[in-house]
Amino acid sequence: MRYQFCPKCGGKLEFFSKQNINQPKCIDCGFTFYQNPIVGVAAILIKNKKILLGKRNISYKNKWCVPCGYVEYDEDVREATKREFLEETGLQIKLNRVYDVHSNFHNPIQHTVGIWFLAEITGGQLKANDDLSEVDYFSYDRLPELAFTTDRFVLDRLATEKLI
Ligand SMILES: [Zn+2]
Nearest one of 112, 115, 114 to 38, comparing CA atoms: 112
In whole angstroms, give the CA distance from residue 55 to residue 2: 30
Q: Residue 3: its pLDDT value, please?
A: 85
134 noted as active-site residue: yes
Which residues neighbour 58 within 8 Å (Cβ) at sequence distance 6 or greater? Answer: 131
Spacing, Cα 109 to ligand 1 middle (Å): 22
* Catalytic site residue from 14, 134, 145, 161: 134
Q: What fold does the segment set 38-160 form as a domain?
A: Nucleoside Triphosphate Pyrophosphohydrolase (3.90.79)
Q: How do residues 135-159 score in pLDDT, each as one tens digit?
A: 999 999 999 999 999 999 999 999 9
Q: With cut-offs at 50, 70 and 90, classify the pLDDT of residue 91.
A: very high
Q: pTM value?
A: 0.90
Strands 50-56 and 64-65: antiparallel
Domain borders along the chain are: 1-35, 38-160
Spacing, Cα 125 to ligand 1 middle (Å): 48
In whole angstroms, give the CA distance from residue 103 to residue 86: 24
